[in-house]
């Protein structure tokens, strides 16, 4: 069978070669974007007098028929037509006759595929921002319930200072807020129309690129035809942003996995998001959290794939660029799936408040507070640090904690210690006092929650 572009060829490839070069197996995901872009293109051709109004109307109705069939998954794509563009063009000519071939006037597959992927990314990035909003809402609701839940904060995965569990949750809220900002800013570069750039040099036809941009709700047009068909920066930027979001999800998943272990018991993941063991009947495994953590590497891989594909390409379009779609499609699917699972998991998580509060009563996370107590009495911090360090060592040697030390031991360490030190060292009081801006004090956390609500 001759190709739609096969006029100058005297031989045809074998089927397995066609299959290797075809992209229809994956770029059929762009069917709605491809047809929508074509409707805008033919509308412009008519308004500019390049196509007769009657011809344009026939083509437009044919495209609308195909769009309706696409909505119902009724289109049959074929490898011999290579990609989404030629498949739709063949279906269109079958639908409306030879006039369908006029659709490709003043257009190349190069600017067509670029338009499709811009439309696709605009839709998907907007959807991902909405998903992040939903996740943030869940985190804020959970944080509001646990403003005064005392939780051990860590550095180096060692107990550091007691904090509000709500404060810990809000740390992720702000990570996801930055992710939203990055995605929103990227829309400025996604929301640009390459349609009308042609293969690489524009066209001799009197087209109106601003009109097609307006019809497709693009905010601007590419200023250079070479750049329009060669640019995949916006896809690389998306994969970078997606990698950042997955990294944040992975960090949170790592904590949930630790917290749900027998050693921590700080949280329990819902049975809906856990699995059992085929051998050990007692097991409850945090598989969904582990899968998200694992799928993070998959998204990182997509970013590296795109960077590698693009790094040595001369202008303008090269067939290598066909390899841009699968990594992007996979990243979108993986990211959206991970966000949906993670949001559901956090909606149904059980927080073991008593376990958290017990943990901070059996450690030395209030040691910094004891140093601050001495600083408030006029002792330089470095001296206070040494005094408290020696008291901690004494506690360790005697298998007790700072709140268990008798007053005479405190007095031996420094005459500045008074009976109020015990109240000062209570974990609840330790957290309650830390109300510096962005701190873990209850008032500061409540203020942060109100600020967070405004961002959603």
Distance CA 32, CA 38 (A): 10
Catalytic option among 127, 184, 261, 277: 277
Catalytic option among 2, 156, 278, 436: 156
Active site residue 277: yes
Q: Is 171 exposed, middle or buried (0-12, 13-18, 19+ CB in 10 A)?
A: middle
Distance CA 456, CA 445 (A): 17
CA proximity to 149, closest of 167, 133, 165: 165
Residues with Cβ within 8 Å of 142's Cβ and at least 6 positions away in sequence, in order, are 166, 169, 346, 349, 351
Catalytic residues: 156, 277
């Amino acid at each position: 069978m001759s190709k739609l572009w096969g006029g100058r060829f005297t031989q045809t490839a074998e089927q397995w070669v066609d299959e290797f070069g075809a992209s229809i197996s994956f770029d059929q995901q762009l069917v709605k974007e491809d047809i929508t872009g074509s409707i805008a293109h033919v509308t412009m051709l008519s308004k500019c007098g390049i196509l007769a109004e009657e011809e344009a109307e026939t083509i437009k109705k044919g495209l609308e028929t195909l769009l309706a069939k696409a909505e119902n998954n009724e289109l049959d794509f074929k490898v011999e037509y290579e990609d989404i563009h030629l498949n739709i063009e063949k279906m269109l000519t079958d639908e409306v006759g030879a006039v369908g071939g006029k659709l490709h006037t003043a257009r190349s597959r190069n600017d067509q595929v670029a338009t499709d992927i811009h439309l696709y990314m605009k839709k998907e990035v907007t959807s991902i921002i909405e998903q992040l909003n939903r996740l943030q809402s869940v985190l804020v609701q959970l944080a509001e319930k646990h403003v005064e839940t005392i939780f051990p904060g860590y550095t180096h995965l060692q107990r550091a200072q007691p904090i509000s569990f709500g404060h810990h949750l809000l740390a992720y809220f702000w990570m996801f807020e930055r992710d939203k900002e990055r995605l929103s800013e990227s829309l400025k570069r996604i929301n640009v129309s390459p349609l009308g750039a042609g293969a690489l040099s524009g066209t001799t036809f009197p087209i109106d690129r601003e009109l097609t941009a307006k019809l497709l709700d693009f905010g601007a047009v590419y200023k250079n035809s070479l750049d329009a068909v060669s640019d995949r920066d916006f896809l690389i930027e998306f994969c970078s942003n997606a990698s950042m979001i997955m990294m944040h999800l992975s960090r949170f998943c790592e904590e949930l996995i630790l917290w749900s272990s027998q050693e921590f018991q700080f949280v329990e993941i819902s049975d809906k998001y856990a699995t059992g063991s085929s051998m050990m009947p007692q097991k409850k495994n945090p598989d969904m959290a582990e899968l998200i953590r694992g799928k993070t590497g998959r998204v990182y891989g997509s970013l590296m794939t795109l960077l590698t594909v693009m790094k040595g390409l001369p202008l303008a379009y090269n067939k290598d660029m066909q390899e841009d779609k699968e990594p992007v499609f996979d990243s979108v699917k993986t990211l959206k799936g991970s966000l949906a699972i993670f949001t559901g998991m956090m909606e149904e998580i059980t927080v073991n408040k008593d376990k958290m509060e017990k943990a901070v009563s059996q450690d030395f996370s209030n040691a910094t507070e004891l140093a601050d107590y001495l600083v408030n009495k006029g002792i330089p911090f470095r001296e206070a640090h040494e005094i408290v360090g020696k008291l901690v060592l004494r506690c360790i040697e005697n298998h007790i904690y700072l709140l268990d030390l008798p007053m005479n031991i405190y007095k031996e360490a420094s005459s500045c210690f008074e009976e109020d030190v015990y109240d000062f060292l209570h974990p609840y009081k330790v957290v309650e006092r830390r109300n510096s801006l962005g701190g873990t004090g209850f008032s500061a956390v409540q203020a942060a929650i109100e600020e967070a609500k405004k961002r959603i």
